[in-house]
Amino acid sequence: MPDRLQRYRDKRDFERTPEPGGSGDAPEGARRFVVQEHSARSMHWDLRLEHEGTLASWAVPRGIPPDPKKNHLAVRTEDHPLEYLEFHGDIPEGEYGAGTMRIYDRGTYELEKWRDSEVMVVFHGERVRGRYVLFRTDEKNWMIHRMDPPEDPDREPMPEKLAPMLAKSGPLPKGGEWAYEIKWDGVRALAFIEGGRVQLINRNLRNVTARYPELRELGRALGPREAILDGEVVAFGPDGRPSFQRLQRRMHLTSDAQVRRLAQSEPVAYVIFDLLWLDGRSLMERTYAERRAALTELELAGPRWQVPGHHVGDGAALLEASRRQGLEGIIAKRLDCPYMPGRRSSGWVKVKNFRRTDVVVGGWMPGEGGRSGRIGALLMGSYEDGELRYAGRVGTGFTEAELLRLQKLLEPLARDSSPFSGTQPPKGARFTEPELVASVDYGEITEGGTLRHPSYKGLRDDVDPHDVAIDRAEIG
């Protein structure tokens, strides 16, 4: 008989790797299986079935599917020796499959069918149980499908997309029914984690995972668990404080090479503050206190992600501490508040140390002197009753590089007529389609809706222009 382990042996140097060489004559006993969590170049799971003296093996990138509604890819790999049923440890760098191998589950299985293109089994493990079929789709690739109902009949499929819950502006709420968190100066993103992989979805429901490759390791940290997290992508400056301007250098990159380079030199962090879904269960109808407790139990502390503390009661002290550190402010959250995706709720209240808002860019004023012929100021607006209202000009806070970038972005959006209703900008204004959103700091908002002493902080593409509105609570 041909040596079914020859491919396995050919790929490995057994003087360097701790993996078993395989005697090749181990007797086959009960039908056993193992699922190994393999943290290699890409996170995946290895399914191995004892069959005819070796372990038939498949790499399953997203793990064994618990729900019959989802099939997962399973890539057929070389047979492994029976000793691999017990193998766990580190495969050295430079060796085939380099990385950490951990046993996720093991047990026995009943064989119902074994053909070259189809394997049907019933697993009896501690975690993996039920009737499954592996079926070939081409020469190398297979799919694995659960055939019986999920063991947990109440299990829910993970939502594909959700819009984050938003806070209202207001005075600091007080009382023992409130918890308080730091308000982070970054961009909001929900993390959908499944099969050791993470997808970051912003407020506009766009996938921004590719912009922040250093956050992909969060998926490995959760292993086989499935979760939806809510948090903020933040760039910390040398002083340890969040820097929206520093984040700007990451938000708009399109070159993969630039993204990789800045991920090394100016990495971001994911600051996690809520847990919306976990292992087949929505937590959104549960209270903030319950969700926070479940988030704490996940123990998510890593090189590029963190779960900052929250404080129940004494919000004034946290607000003052945030002011002393030059932070934007805090968020007050009612302990009994459920999570309401896509809604701006009075159960979450943002209290700012300084005023910042988003504005729609509706054009620009030509500069004078050193800025002659170029942008001197941006024309700002916000929506009210479906119409774009003029909110003044912002002419400070720009770097020369940012002015050049804005010029290139605005030139293709040029239009002849004003996009603003009612009060108009001064003569000489150049108008554009209202497609860009900018973040500005300001002193106050007049009764007419004009921002006084605004300073430009950067563009943001996670906010829809039609969602930009003046917060009436900040007028005056």
Q: Which of 183, 333, 352, 427 is catalytic?
A: 183
Asked if 331 and 234 sit in the same domain, the reply is: yes
Kindly state whether residue 157 falls inside one of the protein's structural domains: no
Asked if 263 and 277 sit in the same domain, the reply is: yes
Kindly state whether residue 59 falls inside one of the protein's structural domains: yes
Asked if 311 and 395 sit in the same domain, the reply is: no
Kindly state whether residue 258 falls inside one of the protein's structural domains: yes
Asked if 185 and 311 sit in the same domain, the reply is: yes
For residue 119, the enclosing domain spans 6-146
Kindly state whether residue 93 falls inside one of the protein's structural domains: yes
Q: What is the mean pLDDT of each run of 10 residues along the chain (476 residues)?
A: 73 82 58 93 92 94 90 95 93 91 94 96 94 94 94 85 93 94 94 93 93 92 92 93 87 86 93 96 97 96 94 92 91 97 94 90 86 86 94 93 93 96 94 96 88 92 90 61
Asked if 134 and 15 sit in the same domain, the reply is: yes
Rounded Cα distance, 66 and 280, in Å: 9
Element counts in the chain: helices (H) and strands (E):
7, 28
The sign of the CA dihedral 438, 439, 444, 448 is positive
Asked if 294 and 183 sit in the same domain, the reply is: yes
| pLDDT for the residue numbered 1 | 42
Kindly state whether residue 151 falls inside one of the protein's structural domains: no
Kindly state whether residue 161 falls inside one of the protein's structural domains: no
**Whole-structure pTM value:** 0.79
The answer to whether 223 and 36 have CB atoms below 8 angstroms apart is no
Asked if 334 and 192 sit in the same domain, the reply is: yes
Please tell me the total number of residues recorded for the chain in this structure.
476
Beta bridge partners of 72: 144
Asked if 135 and 190 sit in the same domain, the reply is: no
Kindly state whether residue 283 falls inside one of the protein's structural domains: yes
Asked if 346 and 446 sit in the same domain, the reply is: no
Rounded Cα distance, 319 and 304, in Å: 25
Domain count, the chain: 3
Kindly state whether residue 158 falls inside one of the protein's structural domains: no
| pLDDT for the residue numbered 282 | 96
The answer to whether 193 and 226 have CB atoms below 8 angstroms apart is yes
Asked if 330 and 382 sit in the same domain, the reply is: no
Nearest to 346 by CA among 151, 183, 167, 106: 167
Q: Which of 316, 332, 352 is the last residue of a domain?
A: 352
Asked if 321 and 360 sit in the same domain, the reply is: no
Rounded Cα distance, 189 and 338, in Å: 19
The answer to whether 439 and 244 have CB atoms below 8 angstroms apart is yes
Asked if 289 and 305 sit in the same domain, the reply is: yes
Residue 113 is a catalytic residue:
no
CATH number at residue 192: 3.30.470.30
Q: Which of 112, 146, 180 is the last residue of a domain?
A: 146
Q: Which of 352, 387, 411 is the last residue of a domain?
A: 352
Q: What are phi and psi of 377, to 5 degrees?
A: -160, 150
